Chain A
Amino acid sequence: MLANAEIKTMINAFGCGFSEGYGNDFDISKLRYDKIIIMADADVDGEHISTLLLTLFYRFMPELIYEGHVYIAMPPLYKAMPSKGAEEYLYDDKALEKYRKKHKGPFTLQRYKGLGEMDAEQLWETTLDPETRYLKQVEIEDARMASEVTEMLMGTEVSPRKAFIYKNAQEAELDI
Chain B
Amino acid sequence: MDDRIIKTEYSEVMQKSFIDYAMSVIIARALPDVRDGLKPVQRRTLYDMHELGIRYDRPYRKSARIVGDTMGKYHPHGDSSIYEALVVMSQDFKKGLPLIDGHGNFGNIEGDGAAAMRYTEARLEQITQEAFLADLDKDVVDFIPNFDETEKEPSVLPVKIPNLLVNGSEGIAVGMATNIPPHNLAEVIDATKAYMLDENITTRELMRYVKGPDFPTGGIVINQDELLEIYETGMGKIKLRGKVEVEKAKGGKTNLVITEIPYTMIGANIGKFLMDVAALAETKKTQDIVDITNQSSKEGIRIVIELRKDADIENFKNLLYKKTRLEDTFGVNMLAIADGRPETMGLKEIIRESVNFQYEVAARKYKNLLEKELERKEIQEGLIKACNVIDLIIEILRGSKDRAMAKACLVEGKTDGIKFKSGESKVMAAQLQFTEKQANAILEMRLYKLIGLEIEALIEEHEDTLANIYRYEDILARRDSMAQVIINELEEIKEKYKRKRRTQITNAEEAVYVEKQIEEMDIVFLMDRFGYAKTIDIATYERNKEAADAENRFAFVCKNTGKVCLFTNTGQLHTVKAMDLPFGKFRDKGVPIDNVSNFDSAKETIVYAASQSDLNLYRVIFATKQAMLKVVDGGEFDVAKRTVAATKLMDGDEVVSVVAFKEQRNMILQSKAGYFLRFPVEEIPEKKKGAVGVRGMKLSASDEIEAVYYSQNAVEQSIEYGDRMLELNKIKLGHRDSKGVKVRI
Contacts and interface: CB of A to CB of B under 8 A. Distances in A.
**Real binding pair:** yes
Interface of A: 44-45, 47-48, 50-51, 54-55, 58, 65, 71-72, 109-111, 113, 130-142, 145-146, 148-150, 153, 158, 161-162, 164-165, 168-169, 171-176
A89 B61 CA distance: 39
Contacts of B144: 176
Contacts of A172: 19-20, 22-24
B20 A161 contact: no
Interface stretch (B3-11, B345-353, B513-521, B645-653): B3-11
A47 B5 CA distance: 18
A139 B24 contact: no
Given A130-B2, A165-B174, A113 B13 contact: no
Given A44-B21, A110-B148, A137 B27 contact: no
Contact of B6 (A135, A165, A173): A135
Contacts of B4: 132-135
Contacts of B76: 111, 113
A139 B21 contact: no
Interface in B402-423: none
Given A135-B3, A137-B6, A165-B175, A149 B17 contact: no
A150 B1 CA distance: 32
A103 B174 CA distance: 38
B28 A138 contact: no
Interface size class of B (residues with CB under 8 A): 35 or more
B147 A113 contact: yes
B147 A171 contact: no
Nearest to A138: B10
10 contacts: A132-B4, A136-B5, A137-B5, A149-B10, A149-B15, A153-B18, A158-B175, A162-B176, A164-B175, A169-B341
A113 B19 CA distance: 19
Interface in B562-607: none
Contact of B13 (A44, A135, A138, A164): A138
Contacts of B17: 47-48, 50-51
B14 A150 contact: yes
B26 interface: yes
Given A47-B21, A162-B175, A175-B20, A136 B6 contact: yes
A139 B17 CA distance: 15
A167 to B, nearest CB: 9
Contacts of A173: 20
Nearest to B1: A130
Q: Which of A45, A142, A149 has the most CB of B within 10 A?
A: A149
Contacts of B102: none
B2 A136 contact: no
B11 A142 contact: yes
Contacts of A110: 148
B21 A51 contact: yes
Contact of A111 (B26, B147, B341): B147
A95 to B, nearest CB: 14
A133 B3 contact: yes
Nearest to A167: B19
A34 B582 CA distance: 74
A47 B9 contact: no
Interface string B149-187: 100000000000000000000000011100000000000
